[in-house]
């Protein structure tokens, strides 16, 4: 039978999702745990590969097995063999026609950013960081140029293996959270920012490259219209540097309701 899992993880200690010879990836740890529980080798396919340092709130994978186990057994049994920073959130038997990647109609990411004169501490590795204050209206205007179907070559890593740079970016939401009292020396308030992205698919480093450009606009180094110029140039050379992976979270894929899969988990809701 085919089983789908929802998996959450902190990516700080790992070399990304995809299996590597080092064995230090989320996929390697998950397949090793599944193999120990199932007592046979298990090969998984995921909804979206994440880079080193990127976190997952509801990564979805599927695998095939001859074992018949209740969903709760797949969750608790596999988690027994996983490190503390990776956990299966749910398990569900699915038809053989289900494919974790191919059946997804969209994917969602969030980026959490600390705006503060002081670097992160308790949230180090879990948030990005900027020292200078950001302009919400300017970033929202810049983000508007990216919505819809475009060639996103300017935001694509050189190692990207996608067949086409044309993607449809359906949503970018930007909000400011947790505003503190103004800093006595700087005159502006430390806070957190949350950026949410939804698209049919994403290119390698696409969100981190967009984040670099949004921050460039937000800090006043470029006007909002510059984002349109970067997009139309179709050249990575004109865009801002790739931003840190620390605050990036794969919120998970979007599936059609008929698959009957969970849309969110407790891990999904902890972000500020």
User: Mind telling me the catalytic residues?
Assistant: 51
What is the token pair recorded at 234? 């179709």
Contact indicator for 51, 205 with CB cutoff of 8 Å: yes
From CA 94, how far away is CA 84, in angstroms rounded? 27
Contact indicator for 55, 123 with CB cutoff of 8 Å: no
Between CA 196 and CA 199, with CA 198 as vertex, the angle to 5 degrees is 150
With tokens 């929802």, the residue in question is 6
Contacts with 21 (C-beta within 8 Å, 6 or more apart), sequence order: none
From CA 106, how far away is CA 99, in angstroms rounded? 13
């Amino acid at each position: 039978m085919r089983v789908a899992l929802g998996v959450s993880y902190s990516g700080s200690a790992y070399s990304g999702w995809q299996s590597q010879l080092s064995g230090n990836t989320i996929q390697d740890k998950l397949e090793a745990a599944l193999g120990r529980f199932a007592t046979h080798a298990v090969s998984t396919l995921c909804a979206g590969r994440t880079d080193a340092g990127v976190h997952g709130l509801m990564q979805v994978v599927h695998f095939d097995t001859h074992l018949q186990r209740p969903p709760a057994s797949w969750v608790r049994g596999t988690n027994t063999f996983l490190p503390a920073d990776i956990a299966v959130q749910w398990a569900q038997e699915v038809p053989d026609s289900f494919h974790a990647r191919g059946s997804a109609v969209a994917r969602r990411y969030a980026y959490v950013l600390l705006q503060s004169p002081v670097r992160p501490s308790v949230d180090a590795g879990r948030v990005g960081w900027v020292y200078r204050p950001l302009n919400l209206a300017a970033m929202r205007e810049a983000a508007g140029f990216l919505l819809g179907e475009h060639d996103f070559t300017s935001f694509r890593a050189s190692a990207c293996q996608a067949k086409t740079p044309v993607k449809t970016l359906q949503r970018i939401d930007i909000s400011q959270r947790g505003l503190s009292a103004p800093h006595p020396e700087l005159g502006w308030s430390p806070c957190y920012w949350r950026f949410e992205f939804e698209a049919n698919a994403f290119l390698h480093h696409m969100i981190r490259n967009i984040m670099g450009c949004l921050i460039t606009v937000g800090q006043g180094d470029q006007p909002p219209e510059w984002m349109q110029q970067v997009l139309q140039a179709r050249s990575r050379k004109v865009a801002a540097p790739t931003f840190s992976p620390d605050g990036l979270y794969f919120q998970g894929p979007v599936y059609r309701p008929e698959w009957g899969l969970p849309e969110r988990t407790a891990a999904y809701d902890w972000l500020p």
